[in-house]
Structure 1
Amino acid sequence: MAEFYINGFSALTGDARPEDFLPFAEARRLRRMEGIAKNALLCSFRAMSAAGLDVNAPKNTGLSVAVGAGSLESTCKFMDTIIDDGDELSSPTAFAGSVHNSTGLTLSAFLHLSGPCVTTGQFDFSFAGALLTARQFLARGMCADALVAVTEDVNPAAAALAPRHPALFAPVLRAPAGPFARAAAAFVLSFRPTDKTLFAVSRFSFSRTEEAPSCAAPVSVSTAAHGALEIFRLLSAGQPFAFRDVFAGAELLVEAEPYA
């Protein structure tokens, strides 16, 4: 039996546009939403639609979110308001957006999810941790299916300094020289196959390792989203694959094949 099944998937590099949401939600409802939450929401809408799930109906779907360092844009805005205006006049809107769980709240509300929800914010370990959490949801019978949503912001300090000091940032950024872009992805998993199942994951592991980082070419410095974007690329090819990623003292291994 497979570790789990993948019934829908989607990914995005850059920022979602208002018109991208037209099939799913009114643009005016997204006006105050954080950039990384919008990206995760768009990918989730697309992945759930591909999995045959009604995005507008209540459902007992688990939610496992990977946010890396969270919304760095809002965090920096919040810190700036403290510096400029003092604690009492700091921005509550920026603070709300800087909280790691804010993306999970957004997805739960817009997608009408009532299953268990956990947010993982462990930088490069985030995506692998979110997959592990979702698998536990399914294995323990906590939900019939689970949404894994990954989204990562641009670190403004890294974007400014890393290209000038790549050796200094190499241990913590996959591509210190850039490009720097937001990225997001979403995957709908189930413990048993459905009529929409696309892939069966035959092997999955996430563990610590002393091995040196792998030399695979990175797609961006979005550390939490790197593995998700690579798996999206492999799934899109429609062929059996084995994905192995070693970075920052951890190893992620995923083997999967199309489900017939």
Structure 2
Amino acid sequence: MGKLFINGFSYLLGDATAEDFAPFAQPRQLRRMEAIAKNALLCSFRAFEQAGIDPASPKETGLSVAVGAGSLESTCKFMDTIIADGDELSSPTAFAGSVHNSTAHTLSVFLHLSGPSVTTGQFDFSFAGALLTAQQFMERGLCPDVLVSVAEDINPVAAEIAPKYPALFAPVVRPGTFTRAAAAFAVSLKPTAHTLFTVTKFEFTRTDNKIALAQTAYSSAAYNAVETARLLSVGKAFSLRDIFAGAEMILEAEPYVTVK
């Protein structure tokens, strides 16, 4: 992977509130939106603001969304309505929110994006897949820049059972408190007036090592993305290496310096 420039970023642990959206959207616009989509949207608004991109103007920006297992809350609600009311009376609203692409649809509409859009669902390494997708969009000339948006929902079943049987869930679920999390990155192949960091190395491969390197305080498939944004916020060069569930990701970045 060649150099990638990060022009804006943001991350969130927990849920976005209506007050968080005050500079960007009206509360009534968010009323029926799933929590996972709200969190992704807030981070995307903030990343665009940092990158000097107007969310309200039409743009050819591409969209690469990463979700672990999608909107689990809506999926569980939809399944509950099937059990309680039968197929014919199941909730269409819950079904629409349960589809993996529902978050991408929300971002496209609110941010006025007309570039290519792909949603990656690869559990803890969805972020790595979304970065690769973003790079391919731009290298193929499909769009000038890409919004990489990452969000993960809470699986209420896993949140209740996993702490009781840690060995059973260890291969697929990180230890720690279950929480929603999200992050967003405005990236391009060429630096802009707002470029903050240069990604100097990015590798994503399979490995025989099954043991996670990081012991996290929270469990979320958005861990890699949140950790990347957190390290970016420090403002220094860093190297992030993570191994989990038979895959390895290495990401290195350094502050962008304009050569005069």
TM-score (norm 2): 0.96
Name the structure 1 match of 2:189. 191
Provide the C-alpha distance between the structure 2 equivalents of 1:123 and 1:153, rounded to a whole number of angstroms. Answer: 11
Residues 62 and 134 of structure 2 are in contact (CA less than 8 Å); yes or no, is this contact kept in structure 1?
A: yes
Partner SS state of residue 171, structure 1: coil
Alignment CA distance shift 1:219-1:64 (3 Å): farther
Provide the C-alpha distance between the structure 2 equivalents of 1:104 and 1:213, rounded to a whole number of angstroms. Answer: 32
Name the structure 1 match of 2:53. 53
Name the structure 2 match of 1:244. 241
Which amino acid in the other structure matches residue 255 of structure 2? P
Residues 235 and 255 of structure 2 are in contact (CA less than 8 Å); yes or no, is this contact kept in structure 1?
A: yes
How big is the shift at 1:248?
1.0
How big is the shift at 1:219?
4.0
TM-score (norm 1): 0.96
Name the structure 2 match of 1:227. 224
Name the structure 1 match of 2:254. 257
Provide the C-alpha distance between the structure 1 equivalents of 2:159 and 2:209, rounded to a whole number of angstroms. Answer: 27
Partner SS state of residue 163, structure 1: helix
Provide the C-alpha distance between the structure 2 equivalents of 1:125 and 1:164, rounded to a whole number of angstroms. Answer: 25
Provide the C-alpha distance between the structure 1 equivalents of 2:179 and 2:85, rounded to a whole number of angstroms. Answer: 30
Partner SS state of residue 218, structure 2: coil
Match of 1:211 among 206, 209, 212: 209
How big is the shift at 1:214?
3.4
Per-residue CA deviation, residues 186-244 of structure 1 (Å, 9 max, x unaligned), is 00000000010000011111111112333222242112x00001101110111111111
Residues 2 and 200 of structure 1 are in contact (CA less than 8 Å); yes or no, is this contact kept in structure 2?
A: no
How big is the shift at 1:2?
5.2
Partner SS state of residue 42, structure 1: helix
Residues 219 and 226 of structure 1 are in contact (CA less than 8 Å); yes or no, is this contact kept in structure 2?
A: no
Superposed counterparts of 1:114-133, under 5 Å: 114-133=114-133
Residues 240 and 258 of structure 1 are in contact (CA less than 8 Å); yes or no, is this contact kept in structure 2?
A: yes
Between the two proteins, the alignment pairs up a number of residues equal to 257
Provide the C-alpha distance between the structure 2 equivalents of 1:219 and 1:56, rounded to a whole number of angstroms. Answer: 36
Residues 147 and 185 of structure 2 are in contact (CA less than 8 Å); yes or no, is this contact kept in structure 1?
A: yes
Per-residue CA deviation, residues 113-157 of structure 1 (Å, 9 max, x unaligned), is 000000011111211111110111111121111000000001111
Provide the C-alpha distance between the structure 2 equivalents of 1:127 and 1:64, rounded to a whole number of angstroms. Answer: 9
Name the structure 2 match of 1:28. 28
Superposed counterparts of 1:142-221, under 5 Å: 142-175=142-175, 178-221=176-219
Residues 213 and 242 of structure 2 are in contact (CA less than 8 Å); yes or no, is this contact kept in structure 1?
A: no
CA RMSD in angstroms comes to 1.1
Residues 125 and 224 of structure 2 are in contact (CA less than 8 Å); yes or no, is this contact kept in structure 1?
A: no
Structure 2 residues not aligned, in runs of 5+: none
Partner SS state of residue 7, structure 1: strand
Provide the C-alpha distance between the structure 2 equivalents of 1:196 and 1:126, rounded to a whole number of angstroms. Answer: 26
Provide the C-alpha distance between the structure 2 equivalents of 1:185 and 1:82, rounded to a whole number of angstroms. Answer: 32
Name the structure 1 match of 2:113. 113
Structure 1 residues not aligned, in runs of 5+: none
How big is the shift at 1:253?
1.1
Name the structure 1 match of 2:8. 8
Superposed counterparts of 1:136-147, under 5 Å: 136-147=136-147
> Taking every aligned residue pair, what percent have the same amino acid on both sides?
68
Residues 138 and 190 of structure 1 are in contact (CA less than 8 Å); yes or no, is this contact kept in structure 2?
A: yes
Residues 45 and 55 of structure 1 are in contact (CA less than 8 Å); yes or no, is this contact kept in structure 2?
A: yes
Residues 13 and 184 of structure 1 are in contact (CA less than 8 Å); yes or no, is this contact kept in structure 2?
A: yes
